Amino acid sequence: MRVAKHPILDDLDQSKKVTIYYNGKPIEALEGEPIASALINAGIRSFRLTQRRHEPRGIFCAIGRCTDCKMIVDGVANTRTCVTPVRDGMRVETQDGVGRFEKPAGTAEGDGRP
């Protein structure tokens, strides 16, 4: 839910909207906001699944420190959604485990493992 009106802060400017795709489903977002806040506004709190037990995780720090919010964004795994701004047409997917990188054209397949 958006905090549109606030007793101290100015009204939230909701004039510039973009669309992002969460696991294929279109979601409305405000230009400039981080992916995590657009998802939370849409009622989504589970962002990724852990590697071994596939347990859900959501945001913890919201300032880019803990990496609990990482997802696959436009094919790039391990993207911290709390500090990555939305872009119109962006694809955001639940990350299961450590995440693989999409194979760039003409290279051997790489995965996210160290």
Partner 1 sequence: MRKITTDIAIVGAGSAGLCAAYQARSAGAEVLVIDENHRPGGQLFKQLHKFFGSSAHRAGTRGYVIGRELLERVEKSGVTVWLDSVVYGMEKDRSIGVIHDGENIVVDAKKVIVATGAKENYMAFPGSTLPGVMGAGAAQTMVNINRVLPGKRIVMLGSGNVGLIVSYQLMQAGADVLAIVEAAPKIGGYGVHAGKIRRAGVPILVGHTITRAIGEKEVEKVEIAEVDDHFRPIPGTEQIIEADTICLAVGLNPMTELLWMAGCRFCFIPAFGGHVPMHDANMETTVQGLYVAGDVTGVEEASSAMEEGNLAGVSAAASLGLLTFEAAEERRKEILGRLDTLRSGMFGERRRTAKEKQLAETAAYEAGRRE
List contacts with partner 1 (CB under 8 A).
1-4, 6-9, 12, 32-34, 36-37, 40-41, 45-47, 55-66, 82-83, 85
The partner in contact with residue 92, picked from ligand FES, partner 1, none with C-beta cut-offs of 5 to 8 angstroms by kind, is none
Identified binder of ligand FES from the candidate list 67, 76, 91, 112, rule CB under 6 A: 67
48-49: strand order across its sheet: 56-57, 48-49, 95-96
Overall size of the chain counted in residues: 114
3-class state of residue 18 by DSSP: strand
Identified binder of ligand FES from the candidate list 31, 33, 68, 74, rule CB under 6 A: 68
Which residues fall within 8 angstroms of residue 17, CB to CB, at 6 or more apart? 28, 29, 30, 31
Binding site for ligand FES (CB under 6 A): 59-62, 64-69, 80, 82
